[in-house]
């Protein structure tokens, strides 16, 4: 698949002599004593398309770039590792680099006149003051290295960590419109996930109000596509108006999960319908059974989304991204496996397993790539985020199918993840593998909070199943690497709050035995999903065809109870078991176990 993806609308951006990000390209820049112009684009990005159609199609700009620069084009979705190090504030990013990959400066969207002026200014500075530019680039790289070293093992996790995160999230809450932050307004499914978690575990009306206001605002606002289903990436205004017409797989999966959980917690069937419509959108417009896999996005490059519902036709829909991405497809597996039981739709589990088997077959054959399509895996490297989500999907599949093969593979994937990405000295996982030939800012291996928390939660679940204390110790070291810095992420530390809350509490494990869609099974699933325990795992077992009674099996660590078959009995059983474990007599027996 081509690395150079231009606007699908008419343009001449290909007349720029674009080069790939590789050592030979930077060697060319050094040999010719030229700076590098780095363009970071995205297939779903509206303004990236506009810049292709205008600035990069301008003959004067093409001549200036081809004569004075080595031009590199990078796709954000294909190379998020490069994007995270060189993005200067959004997409498209137009960055000026030294021939060794040092960042000098840049901007986002630039119309032709402004772009020409900036190019001319940079050419002059590079010709007359190159030493200063190189010094600034080296200083910036040094500061990046120093910043990365801050994410290392700190003090033990504090009991107040969850409360600290929840207070920041509450401070970012928009009480007028719902959601978090101001304009532009993003749905931020992962923040909603923490609010769902806080409401389930505390029962506080305040969190219920936050959920209701936020989910109503999104589902009733223009960020929701009322015609085709699904949600757009963000809105220009805080009141969920003037949407940017691009839909990302990851956003829609996260929102489907949170609407479904909120429907159960708040007993609001309308949210359940929104979740189902969002999943239907993902299946209808982003799923390709021939791969099998989910396309990464649906772009904003046409007027289709501005048409009224009565004027939209399937033929006029924007084409989805031709690529699939390992991390978001593993997320899809996780969401679909859970939704199959909560919605009573076994077909979702079938799809999830097919996608998981595709991902895991690539991992087992050493062809695991961040990007793949019907042509197979690309040469884009598999990143930590891909392995972390693959581990999560395998653990979820074991919990939903009881197939021991998935557990065996989860153990193997966890080992690969630790071997290639774990920081043995400072704790936590780096986002990329070590590469002695890394260029520029890719020399700095960094730790991403969200992906580390994904891994931490998966490892905790793996520990509970295998009782291998190594997984718990790695989780503790991972959380410790962020105890000094999570506050800097503001409300985006929501995942840290959930992972910390899970780590600080024993796991309550509920296994539902029944059949998806059976009313008794759905009732038990809903009752289990409402249990107010921070570290809650719900597993499923498909009952025999002649067994019509749904049952729930409850365990707290190694203590398990006889099965129950009603929501009330389930709640009472868990409450009794956790109360018993909190008894001081239980602690005495743990200290003096006897032989």
Q: What is the 3-state secondary structure (H, E, C) of 183-205?
A: CCECCCHHHHHHHHHHHHHHCCH
Task: Kindly tell me if the per-residue pLDDT of 385 is higher than 90.
Answer: yes
Q: Which of 81-90, 93-102, 161-170, 541-550 has the lowest mean pLDDT?
A: 541-550
* Residue 417 in domain: no
Cα torsion at 388, 474, 480, 533 (round to 10°)?
80
Coil/strand/helix, residue 312: coil
Spatial separation of the C-alpha atoms in residues 427 and 447, rounded to whole Å = 10
For residue 93, the model assigns a pLDDT of 98
The residue-averaged pLDDT of 170-197 equals: 97
Task: Kindly tell me if the per-residue pLDDT of 583 is higher than 60.
Answer: no
The residue-averaged pLDDT of 500-511 equals: 96
For residue 558, the model assigns a pLDDT of 81
* Residue 62 in domain: yes
Coil/strand/helix, residue 371: strand
Six-digit token string for 11: 């343009």
Task: Kindly tell me if the per-residue pLDDT of 256 is higher than 90.
Answer: yes
Task: Kindly tell me if the per-residue pLDDT of 588 is higher than 70.
Answer: no
The residue-averaged pLDDT of 356-382 equals: 96
Tally of structural domains, the chain: 2
For residue 499, the model assigns a pLDDT of 98
What CATH number is associated with residue 574? Answer: 3.40.30
Residue 75: its H or E element? strand 70-75
For residue 592, the model assigns a pLDDT of 30
* Residue 190 in domain: no
For residue 580, the model assigns a pLDDT of 58
- Kindly calculate the radius of gyration of the chain based on its CA atoms and give it in whole angstroms: 25
* Residue 66 in domain: yes
Q: Which of 125, 148, 171 delimits the end of a domain?
A: 148
What CATH number is associated with residue 71? Answer: 3.40.30.10
Quote the strand ranges of 410-521, DSSP E.
Answer: 508-514
Provide CB contacts within 8 A for 286, sequence distance 6+.
249, 252, 294, 295, 296, 297, 298, 320
Task: Kindly tell me if the per-residue pLDDT of 462 is higher than 80.
Answer: yes
Domain span at residue 529 reads 509-591
The length of the chain is: 595
* Average of per-residue pLDDT values in the chain: 94
Q: Which of 110, 126, 148 delimits the end of a domain?
A: 148
* Residue 216 in domain: no
136-151 pLDDT, tens digit each: 999 999 999 999 999 9
Task: Kindly tell me if the per-residue pLDDT of 587 is higher than 50.
Answer: no
The three-point CA angle 382-388-394 to 5° equals 110
Considering the chain, what percentage of its residues have pLDDT values greater than 90?
88
For residue 316, the model assigns a pLDDT of 86
For residue 257, the model assigns a pLDDT of 98
Spatial separation of the C-alpha atoms in residues 198 and 207, rounded to whole Å = 7
* Residue 236 in domain: no
For residue 1, the model assigns a pLDDT of 38
310-339 pLDDT, tens digit each: 888 888 899 999 999 999 999 999 999 999
Q: Which of 94, 119, 148 delimits the end of a domain?
A: 148
Spatial separation of the C-alpha atoms in residues 25 and 35, rounded to whole Å = 11
Residue 377: its H or E element? strand 376-377
Contact 256, 279 (CB under 8 A): yes
As a whole number of angstroms, the longest Cα–Cα distance in the chain is: 85
For residue 581, the model assigns a pLDDT of 53
33-48 pLDDT, tens digit each: 999 999 999 999 999 9
Whole-prediction pTM? 0.95
* Residue 323 in domain: no
* Residue 432 in domain: no
């Amino acid at each position: 698949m081509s690395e150079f993806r231009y606007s699908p609308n008419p343009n001449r951006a290909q007349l720029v002599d674009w080069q790939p990000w590789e050592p030979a390209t930077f060697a060319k820049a050094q040999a010719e004593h030229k700076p590098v112009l780095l363009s970071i684009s995205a297939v779903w990005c509206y303004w990236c398309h506009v810049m292709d159609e205008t600035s990069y199609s301008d003959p004067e700009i093409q001549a200036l770039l081809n004569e004075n620069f080595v031009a590199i084009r990078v796709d954000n979705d294909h190379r998020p590792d490069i994007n995270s190090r060189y993005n200067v504030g959004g997409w498209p990013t137009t960055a000026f680099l030294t021939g060794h990959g040092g960042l000098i400066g840049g901007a986002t969207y630039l119309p032709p006149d402004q772009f020409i002026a900036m190019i001319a200014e940079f050419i002059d500075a590079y010709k007359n003051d190159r030493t200063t530019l190189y010094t600034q680039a080296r200083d910036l790289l040094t500061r990046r290295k120093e910043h990365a070293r801050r994410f290392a093992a700190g003090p033990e996790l504090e009991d107040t960590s969850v409360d600290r995160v929840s207070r920041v999230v509450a401070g970012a809450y928009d009480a007028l419109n719902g959601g978090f932050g101001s304009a532009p307004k993003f749905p931020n499914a992962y923040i909603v996930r923490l609010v769902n978690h806080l409401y389930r575990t505390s029962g506080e009306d305040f969190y219920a109000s936050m959920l209701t206001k936020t989910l109503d605002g999104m589902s009733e606002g223009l960020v929701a596509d009322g015609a085709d289903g699904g949600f757009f990436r963000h809105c220009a205004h805080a009141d969920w108006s003037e949407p940017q017409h691009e839909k990302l797989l990851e956003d829609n999966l996260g929102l489907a999960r949170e609407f479904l959980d909120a429907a159960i917690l708040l007993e609001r069937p309308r949210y359940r319908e929104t979740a189902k419509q969002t999943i239907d959108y993902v299946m209808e417009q982003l799923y390709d059974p021939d791969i099998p896999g989910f396309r990464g996005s649906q772009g904003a490059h046409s007027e289709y989304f501005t048409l009224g519902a009565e004027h939209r036709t399937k033929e006029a829909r924007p084409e989805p991204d031709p690529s699939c991405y390992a991390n978001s497809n593993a997320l899809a597996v996780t969401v679909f496996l859970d939704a199959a039981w909560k919605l009573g739709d076994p077909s979702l589990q079938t799809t999830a397993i097919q996608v998981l088997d595709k991902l895991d077959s690539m991992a087992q054959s050493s062809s695991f790539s961040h990007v793949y399509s019907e042509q197979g895996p690309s040469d884009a490297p598999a990143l930590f985020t891909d392995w972390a989500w693959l581990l999560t999907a395998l653990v979820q599949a074991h919990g939903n199918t009881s197939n021991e093969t998935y557990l065996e593979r989860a153990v193997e994937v966890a080992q690969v993840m630790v071997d290639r990405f774990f920081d043995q000295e400072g704790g936590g996982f780096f986002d990329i593998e070590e590469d002695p030939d890394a260029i520029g800012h890719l020399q700095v291996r960094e730790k991403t909070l969200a992906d580390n928390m994904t891994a931490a939660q998966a490892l905790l679940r793996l520990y509970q199943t295998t009782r291998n204390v190594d997984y718990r110790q790695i989780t503790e070291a991972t959380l410790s690497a962020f105890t000094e810095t999570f506050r800097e992420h503001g409300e985006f530390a929501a995942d840290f709050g959930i992972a910390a809350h899970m780590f600080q509490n024993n796991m309550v494990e509920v296994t539902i035995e029944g059949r998806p869609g059976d009313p008794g099974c759905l009732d038990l699933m809903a009752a289990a999903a409402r249990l107010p325990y921070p570290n809650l795992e719900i597993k499923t077992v498909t009952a025999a065809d002649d067994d019509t009674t749904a049952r729930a099996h409850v365990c707290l660590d190694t203590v398990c109870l006889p099965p129950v078959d009603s929501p009330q009995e389930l709640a009472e059983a868990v409450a009794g078991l956790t109360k018993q474990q909190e008894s001081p007599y239980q602690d005495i027996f743990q200290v003096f176990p006897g032989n």
